[in-house]
Amino acid sequence: MNTATVGTNVATLFIYGASLIVVVWCIVDVTRRPSDELSIGKKAAWVLASLVGWLILGIVGAAIAVFYLVGPRRKLNAQRW
């Protein structure tokens, strides 16, 4: 086995693991929101988009999750305070 191949596999595993953590963070945050802050339809859309995006290509799901965490999540948190 070539050492360059092992390094590539470890890097790929790290990227997929990190993207999974971001997607799980997004899903937990979305599902914990009350219905008056985020409607059930929007919750389902965010969860499905990030989960299916991660299952198809890990980085796509992570990008969707990061978009939620940076955009709508900040606005929802700002409305709380």
Question: What global pTM score does this model have?
Answer: 0.83
Domain ranges of the chain: 3-80
Q: CA neighbours within 13 Å on the CB side: how many for 21?
A: 6
pLDDT value at 3 more than 60: no
Residues whose CB is less than 8 angstroms from the CB of residue 57 and which lie 6 or more positions away in sequence, other chains included = none
Residue 59: what pLDDT?
A: 87
Quick: pLDDT tens for 22-80: 999 999 999 999 988 889 999 999 999 999 999 988 789 999 999 999 999 988 888 87
